[in-house]
Amino acid sequence: MDIDNLLAKLPDYYTVVDRDLITRAYKFAEKAHQGQKRLSGEPYITHCIAVAEILIDLQVPPEMVAAALLHDTVEDTEVTLDDLENKFSPEIAKLVDGVTKLTNLPQVSRADQVAIGGSKKKSASQKANEGEEDKEQDLAIDRSRHRDLATETLRKMLLAMGDDVRVVVIKLADRLHNMRTLSHMPEKKRISIAKETMDIFAPLANRLGIWQLKWELEDLSLRYLKPDAYKDIAQKLSDRRKDREAEIARIVNDLDVLMKKGKIEAEITGRPKHIYSIYRKMTDKGQPFEMVRDLRGVRLIVPDIPSCYAALGLIHTNWRPIPNEFDDYIAA
């Protein structure tokens, strides 16, 4: 995607001033990253555009899109925070600074895939870990120890973001694009980054309620951590994808009619369950794919708790609950 396509994706409510800000941010980042390439061989600016596109799909404010385009300029070029503050605003400089600090937290991998060219600074984390990249990684590390490390890193990330959650959202978009292009990294690095993404970044997306990022981060992580299981589930889902999509559409329509009859205001959406969710059900319950009951998911959002129970009552009058499969998350 180039800048023209990116601008075409901007929401209609973005003003002329907003669009000008994003255009200026793009031109500034393109010049700063001149000569730098990704491991894929693509110009580095393509990564910045991709991160901005992910955020546009989340309908974020224009300052976040601009910061996404600029997010690696301080880390990977000779640009300073003062430069960003003078060229743009203190707010955008602060966002970029926050993303840089998250990138440099101990135990958080650089997944930016800078290959060659340009004037690239060495980050604090790179200096600290210099010489460690090629050491053999023990993939059989004790799970409790790894969980403790993930929790500690997550805590540090949350502390580092301070009172501005926008920084973490930009970092999540950055990690998502790096996961989408992870195949260009060496195998040991791919596995390390995938484990970190599963243990730290996907839970962050979950905590922030950004489900589309959470689901994709989990699926992409599983793709590298358990490639055979991922391919097997993906193939089985693909075999009957159209049937499942048609069934979901029918259920959503039936629920919509039912809620309107009951005079319950509800927002209803449906989706196929993502691969990692199915994998978890298979492993947690020791079931084969064919035994997993909920390959489809429907979300029904109502304004308050009484409406939750009213909607649940209507649903149970039309669909019988499966024994031992119903969980009451309303009371919980």
By annotation, the residues acting in catalysis are 75-76
8 A C-beta contact, residue 70 and residue 185: no
Tokens linked to 94: 């602060």
Tokens linked to 119: 């004037």
CA 319, CA 313: separation in Å to the nearest integer?
10
CA 112, CA 75: separation in Å to the nearest integer?
10
DSSP state of 198: I
3-state secondary structure of 115: strand
8 A C-beta contact, residue 164 and residue 95: yes
Residue with tokens 């449906």: 270
CA 310, CA 313: separation in Å to the nearest integer?
5
Report the DSSP beta bridge partners of residue 301: 267
**Which of 5, 26, 40, 54 lies closest to 176, judged by CA?**
54
Handedness of CA 261, 266, 268, 274 (dihedral sign): negative
Q: What distances in angstroms separate CA 81 from CA 25, 32, 98, 160, 263, one per listed residue?
A: 14, 13, 11, 17, 54
Tokens linked to 156: 């540090």
